[in-house]
Structure 1
Amino acid sequence: MPDQNDEAKLLIVDDLPENLLALDALLQGQGIALYKAESGEQALELLLRHEFALAILDVQMPGMNGFQLAELMRSTERTKQIPIVFVSAAGHELNYAFKGYESGAVDFMHKPLDSHAVRSKVNVFVALYRNRKRMARQLEALEQSRREQEVLLDELRSTQTELEQAVRMRDDFMSMVSHELKTPLNTLILEVQLRKLQLSKHNLAAFSEDRLQAMVEKDERQIRSLIRLIDDMLDVSRIRTGKLSIRPTYFDLAQLVGKVVESFFQQMAINGCELTFQCSESLPGVWDEFRIEQVLANLLTNAARYGVGKPVEVRAYSVTHGVCLEVRDYGIGINPANLERIFHQFERGDGSENSAGLGLGLFIADQIVKAHGGRIEVQSTEGQGARFCVILPPLDSP
């Protein structure tokens, strides 16, 4: 049984109804749909609505004859490819067959029609039509397959680029982690070796109370540096897996900021930065106290790194849509092209080559603030420093 997509439509045009009925009875078959017209005008209406595999036209019709209809069909893009077979009851002496071939017909048959010949010729054109339709579908399928393959190739190229970037990022990260971990570890190992040397020489004078205090403080700084690096890596892992925990509690943001700023005075002094804090009001609300402290610490560490020798200002105040925690430095500033990427993981700003850190601080801070439903805004001019403003959502009740 022919596929439904291969149904062939035949157009029969004859001004005599009995001739149409005769051809209808002769050509009935599976997969063939017959459309009949008694004039050229009716035929044109059908040609506009249907796609035909073959048109059988009577030559002698009142009004528009078969040759005129054929000329119109050949001059129209939609119908010029339809094969045309002329039929006529006129004698051979009128030379209609020659005129029919001139007008673009593929065959000419004289009445009375030979039923076997008619069926055979129609079957040939129907088979050609079906083969043409199958080939068109196959070409369309091939073209669709080609388009899908191009899309797949583009996706594969994109995936390959992402994988290559991920591998580079991993290698850079491992190299960076190795370097950053070795720095405090090497310092600790060197200190331990020096102490062992002093002990082996029984030089207990090297361990006076003042010197022991200095040793402990130095060890503590190195250990805290290690803990900070490890915590940053753990936070990145939590962020990637969607497991960054936020535990809101009620507290005064102004008091928290004041405490964090106080803890940074010594570090800022070492970097030659004058640290000031301004807040004229209480800012109670519900946030994750530990995480907000982490955000501020990361911003202050960033300010100390890029604002060496310049003032660093911290402010906390109410805004229309919540509260703003602002950190302003007057250091080297940020290139406008880098304003977006500074919040990406493992990104480090220009001028950070000789400073510690994995390039995770701003990324983690940004993710923490987003987890609170807030945002971080940054403004900077190269050579004039940067202003980071953490906007947290409206104050909540306990």
Structure 2
Amino acid sequence: MPTESPVNILLVDDQPENLVALEAILGDLGANLVKSTSGKEALRCLLQDDFALILLDVQMPQMDGFEVATLIRRRPRSQDTPIIFLTAFSSSEQFMFKGYALGAVDYLIKPIAPNVLLSKVAIFIELFKKTEALRQKTEILQRQTTQLEAINTELQTSEERFRLLSSCSPVGVFVTDTEGRCVYTNPRFQTICQGAATTSESTDGARLGSGSGQSWLDSVYPDDLAAARSTWAAYLQNGQNDYAQEFRLRPSGEVERWAAVRSARMVSEQKTFLGYVGTVEDITERKQAEAANAQVIREQAARKEAETANRMKDDFIAVLSHELRTPLNSILGWANLLQAGKLDPQKVEYAIDTIERNALAQKQLIEDILDVSQIVRGKLQLHRLPVDLVAVAQTALETVRPAATAKAIALTTNFHDCDRLEVTGDALRLQQVIWNLLTNAIKFTPDQGRVDIRLSVVASLPKERLITSTCAEHGPSDGAPAYAQLRVTDTGLGIAADFLPHIFDRFRQADSSITRSQGGLGLGLAIVHHLVEQHQGCVWAESAGLNQGAAFTVALPLAQSTSPSPPAPSLLPDEPSTHALDGLPILVVEDDTDTRDLLAFLLETQGAVVTTTASAKEGLHLVNSMRPAVLLCDISMPDMDGYTLVQTIRTQLSAPQANIPAIAITAHARLSDQAQALSNGFQSHLPKPIEAETLVRTILQVTRSARDLSKPGSAQTVD
């Protein structure tokens, strides 16, 4: 490699003209000619620069050339610099040998032939250049060698540091190629994904590039494997920067194990994609802590919910006690006054009306409680038939009209000239829904207020109602109107915004304090909500706030069939004529004395011939001996229950006693109780308390049916 600057040549001679002559000869070589007239000056020049060649005169004052050469050779920096001695006085071999002994490369006698000097100096200049180039290359190689040694040392240190970090890492580490194939895993990875690794296995597995190709996917729990493969494949395919998922691992024991997998792309400084680096962390303890915390939260929520439910039930029981005791106070109070016989005729009539009104109130409370009990146990049953909702609404309206009239409340209807709105359902239960809504509206509307009932047909319902309702399953399929909508609005007390979402909850009242102004158990709306949902409908409440009135809307799917439906049963039965049971022999089997006496009195006022007994066994004997026209029988009796009595009559007595019409008179008032009574041989089921008109009509119905069955050609079986 040629030097960029000219080489230096030192010319040493005490005669200036000789230096000029040398300069003239060597000027064309392009070298930097440094002239010196003494040995000391020459030595000073050598302290400053390096020279390719020194032309040194031998004969000089103060310090001859041999002495200067000796000093030059003592300095390490110049000990190898070529020296050519120049002399004009002696050419003896002694001087020449002395010069060569001092390290001279040549010995020239003056006068010096220019061409000889020029060729010799040129050779040393070229030699110096090559030597300098070689020296520079050597220095470069030495520097590179030093750098490589430093890099190797750093790499060894870095690799050792990486090995230690990898071996001691608390998380598993894996490296893959650009295709996602695993090329490296650390010991912790093996511990998490393969089970506990031995020390030798850990050391081997931690060596870069020695991965066995195992993927973390191999250790994922089978149920989570499909999801893990899908997300990992999508990550590799889409070129996303980061990946983070949590999966269950194959259990090593009974404990469920979890791992968090994270990965990122590896890119070099030159932006070259190298593969993926990832971690696998065992998060089993965290998951267990989260599960324990969630369990605590659930238990706290359940405890809070239970406390709320218990508080609501306590409030409900307090209200129930109040609502049951209040009518009893009036009933017992007026009964005592009637018994004393100190009331005038007007007060007697008032007392009887009061007793009847409070008894009916208690009856309604009991029916609501029984309905809610059946709802809670999922035992509430419906008899589904095509029902005209218009007729049901009109019947319910007439039932509540007296209560509205007593408070001077205007009852307005808007049925949109609907002659008939047919839905599929239980007519009595739908009547109960409308009656409850109307009764509620009248109860919470002040005197001289207004209650409106509106029937219409709509094609769809608000979206927010369909989200949480079964209506969506029975909606319109062809765009035609598919819902019968009943809306009851009032000008009453309204509903507070914070209570509106709980308006249909059981055991929940807006005001359960002792200062509340309205009576009732607050079960009516809960019953309404359940009955409407059982009819695949939905019901919701709206109110602008307290003292702003309220509106309740019921939506029921219209029936698909257009076949005529039977008329809705009425809550206002036709009153039978007096003495409708003249001469009819009736047997009453009832272990409760008061009930037995009451039934006997009611029937005798209608002209019946009544025989009573408190024993089912005695009743069996009387049926066989006196042959009554109808049997009224209690269910719960000490010696033999009513079911057993009727079954014994049907199976052990001969006709016509075996076919005697039987009516169950019982406090078991559920539909399931009614079905059980009919399946055990009773012709009818009357729940207590029993109304006189209903009792007489039922007796007439079962006796008439018995007579029809006994006619020639009729089937001789009992339902």
| TM-score (normalised: structure 1) | 0.64
Aligned partner of 1:329 in structure 2 is 490
- Asked which structure has the greater RCO (Cα within 8 Å, sep 6+), the reply is 1
Aligned partner of 1:386 in structure 2 is 550
Give the AA of the match of 1:273: I
Deviation sequence 1:129-157 (CA, Å, 0-9, x none): 9xxxx9x9998544343222212222221
TM-superposed deviation, 1:175: 0.9
Whether contact under 8 Å (1:323, 1:395) holds in the other structure is no
Q: Which of 399, 414, 433 is equivalent to 1:263?
A: 399
Would the alpha carbon gap of residues 64 and 241 (structure 1) be closer, same or farther in structure 2, given more than 3 Å must change? Answer: farther
TM-superposed deviation, 1:315: 1.6
Would the alpha carbon gap of residues 123 and 254 (structure 1) be closer, same or farther in structure 2, given more than 3 Å must change? Answer: closer
Determine the C-alpha separation between the residues in 1 that align with 2:407 and 2:150.
Answer: 100
1:241 partnered with 2:377: yes
Give the AA of the match of 1:365: V
Would the alpha carbon gap of residues 376 and 74 (structure 1) be closer, same or farther in structure 2, given more than 3 Å must change? Answer: farther
Would the alpha carbon gap of residues 328 and 141 (structure 1) be closer, same or farther in structure 2, given more than 3 Å must change? Answer: closer
Would the alpha carbon gap of residues 64 and 253 (structure 1) be closer, same or farther in structure 2, given more than 3 Å must change? Answer: farther
Determine the C-alpha separation between the residues in 2 that align with 1:367 and 1:74.
Answer: 73
TM alignment of 1:166-185, pairs within 5 A: 166-185=309-328
What residue ranges of structure 1 are gaps of 5+ in the alignment? 1-61, 85-121
What residue ranges of structure 2 are gaps of 5+ in the alignment? 1-147, 169-198, 207-251, 253-257, 260-280, 460-481, 564-719
Deviation sequence 1:191-245 (CA, Å, 0-9, x none): 11111111xxxx5xx464x655544332222111111111111122222222221
Aligned partner of 2:430 in structure 1 is 292
Give the AA of the match of 1:331: G
Q: Which of 529, 532, 536 is equivalent to 1:373?
A: 536
Whether contact under 8 Å (2:490, 2:550) holds in the other structure is yes
Aligned partner of 2:603 in structure 1 is none
Would the alpha carbon gap of residues 72 and 172 (structure 1) be closer, same or farther in structure 2, given more than 3 Å must change? Answer: same
1:347 partnered with 2:505: no
Whether contact under 8 Å (2:444, 2:518) holds in the other structure is no
Q: Give the root-mean-square deviation of aligned CA atoms.
A: 3.4
Whether contact under 8 Å (1:326, 1:390) holds in the other structure is yes
Would the alpha carbon gap of residues 123 and 66 (structure 1) be closer, same or farther in structure 2, given more than 3 Å must change? Answer: farther
TM-superposed deviation, 1:287: 1.6
TM-superposed deviation, 1:75: 7.7
Aligned partner of 1:281 in structure 2 is 418
Determine the C-alpha separation between the residues in 1 that align with 2:536 and 2:160.
Answer: 69
Give the AA of the match of 1:298: N
Q: Alignment partner of 1:155: what SS?
A: helix
| TM-score (normalised: structure 2) | 0.36
TM-superposed deviation, 1:178: 0.6
Determine the C-alpha separation between the residues in 2 that align with 1:125 and 1:328.
Answer: 78
Whether contact under 8 Å (2:423, 2:557) holds in the other structure is no
Would the alpha carbon gap of residues 124 and 179 (structure 1) be closer, same or farther in structure 2, given more than 3 Å must change? Answer: same
Would the alpha carbon gap of residues 261 and 63 (structure 1) be closer, same or farther in structure 2, given more than 3 Å must change? Answer: farther
- Give the number of the structure whose residues are more often helix, by fraction: 1
Q: Alignment partner of 2:361: what SS?
A: helix
1:158 partnered with 2:301: yes
Deviation sequence 1:99-132 (CA, Å, 0-9, x none): xxxxxxxxxxxxxxxxxxxxxxx759869x9xxx
Determine the C-alpha separation between the residues in 2 that align with 1:349 and 1:229.
Answer: 18
Aligned length: 286
Determine the C-alpha separation between the residues in 2 that align with 1:173 and 1:188.
Answer: 23
The percentage of aligned residue pairs carrying the same residue is: 28
Deviation sequence 1:68-110 (CA, Å, 0-9, x none): 544554787xx660359xxxxxxxxxxxxxxxxxxxxxxxxxx
Determine the C-alpha separation between the residues in 1 that align with 2:150 and 2:487.
Answer: 88
Aligned partner of 1:82 in structure 2 is 166
TM-superposed deviation, 1:163: 2.0
Would the alpha carbon gap of residues 273 and 126 (structure 1) be closer, same or farther in structure 2, given more than 3 Å must change? Answer: same
TM-superposed deviation, 1:177: 0.8
TM-superposed deviation, 1:396: 3.5
Aligned partner of 2:524 in structure 1 is 361
Whether contact under 8 Å (1:369, 1:392) holds in the other structure is yes
Would the alpha carbon gap of residues 186 and 142 (structure 1) be closer, same or farther in structure 2, given more than 3 Å must change? Answer: same
Would the alpha carbon gap of residues 66 and 291 (structure 1) be closer, same or farther in structure 2, given more than 3 Å must change? Answer: farther
